[in-house]
Amino acid sequence: DQQSAWRDFSSSEVYAADLESALHYLLRVELATHSTLQGEELQVFKDFVTLVSKLYPGGGSVVKLMETLSDWLLSLPLPRIPYQAVLDLVDNKMRISGVFLGAELRWVGCQGSRAGLRGYPCSLWTLFHVLTVQHDATPTALDNTGLEGGAAPVLQVMRRYVRTFFGCEECGRHFERAAAASLEGVQNREQQVLWLWNQHNTVNDRLAGSLSDDPLFPKAPWPSPSLCASCHDEKNGVHEWNQDNVLLFLRKHYGASNISPRYSL
């Protein structure tokens, strides 16, 4: 039970254990509700796996597993793939090659004060923030993947993933509406990082005080002044974000060198 193993953590760090748990949950729980993948679903899944294999920082066993999965998916001429085949591949690869994705969920920065709070949705946000920042840091990483065309490839994959697979359907609808309204305006990698930050704050704002709000982690505009003082300005007594400094902060916070291996396997 989650209560028995509270993990000490710092809110100024990002934890590899949360990112690994996000992928574990996504591959073994979320996807399992689709017994076969075909058509748009299969394409969205392929693109998601490609994106993670190219942009997940550190080049460790997560990347190896996602590369293997990606190569396998791209080599299959099948119009539909049973979910069980995906699961078999993930299990076999992990057993044979020692390539590893945690065998259990291990939330750290995303642990909740009780079961049902935080966890997976928190880690999915975290994963995509990391991917937008990594795309900004390694502009050519998506070359020759078919994803390099548009100005906001990470957000486009996220949009389609969330719409197609995310277990919270209400979340998917909200996110789709936001993307349809303003994703077109995103013209470069910096704006891609900032769009996701801003959208996440819009969701925080909407959810503050709601049932999904963990009392230990109340929803609030992020980053707080204590995390990033220079992100906050005031003009005529009104709060304003300093977007240049927010961008610098996001690059640092979600950058590869701020991802802690603590609690990771």
* Residues making contact with ligand FAD (CB under 6 A): 11, 110, 118, 121-122, 124-126, 129, 162, 168, 170-171, 174-175, 197, 200-201, 203-204, 207, 212, 214, 217, 222
What is the smallest separation between the CB atom of 85 and ligand FAD, expressed in angstroms?
Answer: 27
What is the smallest separation between the CB atom of 84 and ligand FAD, expressed in angstroms?
Answer: 27
What is the smallest separation between the CB atom of 178 and ligand FAD, expressed in angstroms?
Answer: 9
In angstroms, rounded to a whole number, what is the distance separating the alpha carbons of residues 197 and 251? 11
Residue 101 or 122 having the CB closest to ligand FAD: 122
Residue 8 or 170 having the CB closest to ligand FAD: 170
* Residue among 181, 160, 174 at smallest CA distance from 205: 174
Residue 36 or 198 having the CB closest to ligand FAD: 198
In angstroms, rounded to a whole number, what is the distance separating the alpha carbons of residues 72 and 84? 14
Residue 48 or 125 having the CB closest to ligand FAD: 125
**Looking at the chain, which runs of residues are DSSP E strands?**
14-15, 36-38, 80-82, 232-235, 238-241, 259-260
| Parallel/antiparallel/unpaired status of strands 259-260 and 14-15 | parallel
19, 126 in Cβ contact below 8 A? yes
Chain centre to alpha carbon of residue 95: 25
What is the smallest separation between the CB atom of 127 and ligand FAD, expressed in angstroms?
Answer: 9
In angstroms, rounded to a whole number, what is the distance separating the alpha carbons of residues 263 and 170? 32
What is the smallest separation between the CB atom of 112 and ligand FAD, expressed in angstroms?
Answer: 7
Residue 124 or 186 having the CB closest to ligand FAD: 124
